Structure 1
Amino acid sequence: MEATSWVSYAAAWLGVLALLLLSRHLRRRKLNLPPGPKPWPIIGNLNLISNLPHRSIHALSQKYGPIMQLKFGSFPVVVGSSVEMAKAFLKTHDVTFAGRPKIAAGKHTTYNYSDITWSPYGPYWRQARKMCIMELFSNKRLESYEYIRREEMSALIRGLYESSNTNILLKDHLSTVSLNVISRMVLGKKYTDKSEDSIVSPDEFKKMLDELFLLSGVLNIGDSIPWLDFLDLQGYIKRMKALSKKLDRFLEHVLDEHIENKKAEGFVATDMVDVLLQLADDPNLEVKLERHGVKAFTQDLIAGGTESSAVTVEWAISELLKKPEIFKKATEELDRVIGRERWVEEKDIVNLPFVDAIAKETMRLHPVAPMLVPRLAREDCLVAGYDIPKGTRILVSVWTIGRDPKLWENPDEFCPERFIGKDIDVKGQDFELLPFGSGRRMCPGYSLGIKVIHSTLANLLHGFTWRLADGMKIEDLNMEEIFGLSTPKKFPLVAVPEPRLPAHVYSL
């Protein structure tokens, strides 16, 4: 009898609970999600994404509109691909979408999300951003390193002059100058020269960075389908862990060397690692900057400052080889403003609007990060009448924005003249052109990147006439790209530099 009573009592409570759950379900508002293709079980829409995700997503946006929802495995991904949507995600609701998704690259190659790029939004990241703005990339700091950029530019010009009238792999020269500039600014010395006391060879140093660029941008299956992560089906996790050990060995050596130098009498901080170590010793920091954080920041500074300028300038020269009339306009401006007896300095760029236009047009057509670094919705939000639930990953397709026929006439054509007389900049305020992003999580080193891109491009155009390798025609020039942390040419440009200034200028 007692057992029957207990069962009845339990059944009554279960009935009440079921009614409550049903009532709650009925009251819950049905979400109005952005349009998009129907996802498959388990994989979502990954079947629609090629090895060039930015192109696949661009094609989908043409069908589903400027805001659409995809499913990458079990994770919702909302893509904004218009000026209005970029402004909504990066400005209007900037704080809401200031998070970062936790992916394997951030975990395994940046000391468990301890760097500037992948650290979650919060006190640690805000402190890192403040360090970048106030210390590492302040105008005063960048001006103090101008002599480094000038010396390495001279070395680039001399190297190209010595290779005059021969086929060269331009990317090698551009990567070397970028890496040398960043190494000296961040680490205090170059690691591209052979040295007995160097912990890594020049080739090993470059290979580590190339691997980092690749692995930071891959579409890792485990990031979309977490329960498959342990299988490491593509082998990326194994490679990330191996790379992390190599990078850590190098960065440990760098920090030990700098800490030892600090003990010297009259020590003065001369590079960015010195500055980071000083900041780490500050007892007033809101969040203590641990040793692994200094290493993560250092790695970010090296990687972020090396690839973007080299990739952009290579794309620019490639486009100019297809349009010799644009090259002619640029050299006419350079001869008029600079003359033929000196090289272009950073302060000259403001007087070279056509060279600046070439740089902008290159960044429009070939953005280094075509979908920027993914963001994460930190809370529920309403955008353009659509519900964006907390935890949704956000992509902003600057690739699509740069090809929007409503914004750009003949958008697939390389035409720097479109920027002449237009007040459009790349500093994150003009949403038609966002190569460095916008808002709180905009690339903190954009000002340095702009300086290096402008200076390198201007001097390559001023000092040399460029032509394709012997026997190669313009129609043979391949303009395909590969996708990673950056988006470089699939087939590196082989070109021939021919001096166009008096011989004595190349020894200046």
Structure 2
Amino acid sequence: MQMMSMMFLLWSVILIPIIFFIKHKRGKNSNTPPSPPGLPLIGNLHQLGRHTHRSLCSLSHRYGPLMLLHFGRVPVLIVSSAEVARDVLKTHDRVFASRPRSKIFEKLLYDRHDVASAPYGEYWRQMKSVCVLHLFSNKMVRSFREVREEEISLMMEKIRRSSSLPVNLSKILMSLTNDVICRVALGRKYGGETDFQELMERLSKLLGTFSIGSYVPWLSWVDWIHGLDGQLDKTANDLDENDFVDVLLAIQREKSVGFEIDRVSVKAIVLNVFVGGTETSYTLMEWAMTELLRHPKCMNRLQEEVRKICKGKSSVSEEDIQELKYLKAVIKETMRLHPPLPLMIPHDSTQDVRLGDYHIPAGTQVLMNAWAIGREAATWGPDAENFRPERHLDLSVDYQGQSFELIPFGAGRRICPAISFAVVLNEIVLANLLHRFDWRLPAESIENQTGIAESTGTSVHCKFPLYVIASSTT
């Protein structure tokens, strides 16, 4: 019996790679997109570096803008051009509107009861309508103006008190966005009382972590060895211990949206608001200030525009924003080079479809590499890697989901519903920072601060906190 077991194990070790190789070769001979060679059992997982969006961009330069990888047994399409993104997110939007299962999503996002990771269907449509109705409609965004103005005023005073001394602008911007979103969603601030910022940072990092077990189930023990399972359990428990979500349970009790929402769904929605709102908004502002400090001519031009339009005013109002064309160009250029989510949340095909000349079977995951699309030379020219806001002054490209050359918020049915909420906050914060203060880097930290080293996580911000010195102009 022992000898038979040993022989079975030996033949398994020999045959499994052979079977995998034969299936892989058959796949390559069928009408599927170009694919880098993979390894038995794990496919192309070994080719994903620490910064996956960069690794995938490098591979796309060799294999093309529509590339097929295998993460374990799961086929994954990598989209790296605006043309292909249009095909996926517009022409075949409904086919790719769902989301794949993920151990991380299921653990941290209440078994995919949130808006971002829920599978396409009636539940998702109802949850999205709740978000739009109560937080993200244009009417609601306008109604939060007073909250934005009050929190920006507090931030400006905090910076003024530290004038001529180095301040951690990254931390200040994160606190601002957290406080605005807490007040908007819950009616009060929670950050300082519950270590909420640290929890959100931990959550964001885990959401961007790659789970081997999600793609190669028999290697799930690797996630346990690396401590991922323990981190997921702890973070999920910490999220449940925060009672701030109970504030929105009034929606559930009153059934004011016309259908019943359970407690888990409410908590999942609120979590989306905080993760999507806090991390992405502060990340974009941090990158914008980093690039402006790296390009003093751009900063000077933006300051001249803001101070000319708002001459004699103590602050920039939301009406003034409409006249600040270069500000809008700076924000677009920052989104192009540093999309807060370089790899959009994965899509999942629900039926067989053809993309160009290729057959894509149901159950194929799709990763949109927004970072690579924003740096595509065919669209943006030979200086695509350079920060040059002027390029947007004569272009009609926007980020509302109609121009696939710039998709920091996604496009199609699964486009982020909070675009207006995020953009208004980013515009008014940056305008006031540049109107009220002159900015420079501490001499001892110029080398670190002007680099573009990236963090890891679902949203990618600067690896090092942005320390700056602000000098008041008034």
TM-score greater than 0.5 by the shorter chain: yes
Q: Distance in 2 between matches of 1:191 and 1:132?
A: 20
Q: Distance in 2 between matches of 1:276 and 1:384?
A: 45
CA contact (8 A) 2:166 2:468 kept: yes
In the alignment, does 2:340 pair up with 1:380? Answer: no
Q: Distance in 2 between matches of 1:457 and 1:145?
A: 18
In the alignment, does 2:116 pair up with 1:105? Answer: no
* Code of the aligned partner of 1:376: D
Query: For residue 8 of structure 2, what is the aligned residue in structure 1?
Result: none
* Code of the aligned partner of 2:370: V
User: Please, what TM-score do these two structures have when normalized by structure 2?
Assistant: 0.90
Which sits farther off after the overlay, 53-62 or 97-106?
97-106
Once the two structures are superposed, residues 61-95 of structure 1 have per-residue CA deviations (whole angstroms, 9 ceiling, x without a partner) of 00001101011111111011111111011111111
Q: Following TM superposition, by how much is the alpha carbon of 1:227 offset from its aligned partner in structure 2, in angstroms? A: 2.1
Query: For residue 471 of structure 1, what is the aligned residue in structure 2?
Result: 444
In the alignment, does 2:427 pair up with 1:435? Answer: no
Q: Give 2:198's match in structure 1, choosing from 183, 207, 211.
A: 207
Q: Give 2:391's match in structure 1, choosing from 410, 415, 418.
A: 418
| SS of alignment partner, residue 242 of structure 2 | helix
Q: Following TM superposition, by how much is the alpha carbon of 1:274 offset from its aligned partner in structure 2, in angstroms? A: 6.2
In the alignment, does 2:434 pair up with 1:461? Answer: yes
| SS of alignment partner, residue 95 of structure 2 | coil
Q: Following TM superposition, by how much is the alpha carbon of 1:331 offset from its aligned partner in structure 2, in angstroms? A: 1.1
Query: For residue 63 of structure 1, what is the aligned residue in structure 2?
Result: 62
Judged with a 3 Å threshold, the aligned counterparts in structure 2 of structure 1 residues 93 and 177 are, in CA distance, closer, same or farther, namely: same
* Code of the aligned partner of 1:100: R
CA contact (8 A) 1:53 1:483 kept: no
In the alignment, does 2:194 pair up with 1:219? Answer: no
Q: Distance in 2 between matches of 1:89 and 1:164?
A: 49
| SS of alignment partner, residue 444 of structure 2 | coil
Q: Distance in 1 between matches of 2:254 and 2:53?
A: 38
Q: Give 1:277's match in structure 2, choosing from 252, 261, 270.
A: 252
Aligned positions, number: 446
CA contact (8 A) 1:136 1:275 kept: no
Q: Following TM superposition, by how much is the alpha carbon of 1:275 offset from its aligned partner in structure 2, in angstroms? A: 6.6
Q: Give 2:233's match in structure 1, choosing from 227, 233, 241.
A: 241
Q: Distance in 2 between matches of 1:112 and 1:476?
A: 39
* Code of the aligned partner of 2:425: V
Q: Distance in 2 between matches of 1:147 and 1:476?
A: 33
Q: Matches of residues 24-173 of structure 1 in structure 2 within 5 Å?
A: 31-173=30-172
Which consecutive unaligned segments of at least 5 residues does structure 1 have?
A: 1-27, 195-199, 259-272, 503-508
CA contact (8 A) 1:220 1:234 kept: no
CA contact (8 A) 1:66 1:82 kept: yes
Judged with a 3 Å threshold, the aligned counterparts in structure 2 of structure 1 residues 279 and 478 are, in CA distance, closer, same or farther, namely: farther
* Code of the aligned partner of 2:59: L
Query: For residue 8 of structure 1, what is the aligned residue in structure 2?
Result: none
In the alignment, does 2:393 pair up with 1:402? Answer: no
Q: Distance in 2 between matches of 1:279 and 1:46?
A: 47
Q: Distance in 2 between matches of 1:174 and 1:29?
A: 48
Q: Distance in 2 between matches of 1:480 and 1:150?
A: 32
In the alignment, does 2:303 pair up with 1:353? Answer: no
Once the two structures are superposed, residues 144-182 of structure 1 have per-residue CA deviations (whole angstroms, 9 ceiling, x without a partner) of 111001100101101111111111111100000000000
Q: Following TM superposition, by how much is the alpha carbon of 1:109 offset from its aligned partner in structure 2, in angstroms? A: 0.8
Q: Distance in 1 between matches of 2:116 and 2:38?
A: 29
CA contact (8 A) 1:333 1:352 kept: yes
CA contact (8 A) 2:398 2:406 kept: yes
Q: Following TM superposition, by how much is the alpha carbon of 1:425 offset from its aligned partner in structure 2, in angstroms? A: 1.3
Once the two structures are superposed, residues 292-349 of structure 1 have per-residue CA deviations (whole angstroms, 9 ceiling, x without a partner) of 1111111111111101111111111111111111111111111111114221122222
Q: Distance in 1 between matches of 2:133 and 2:304?
A: 39
Percent of matched pairs sharing the same residue: 36
CA contact (8 A) 1:343 1:462 kept: yes
Q: Distance in 2 between matches of 1:335 and 1:112?
A: 49
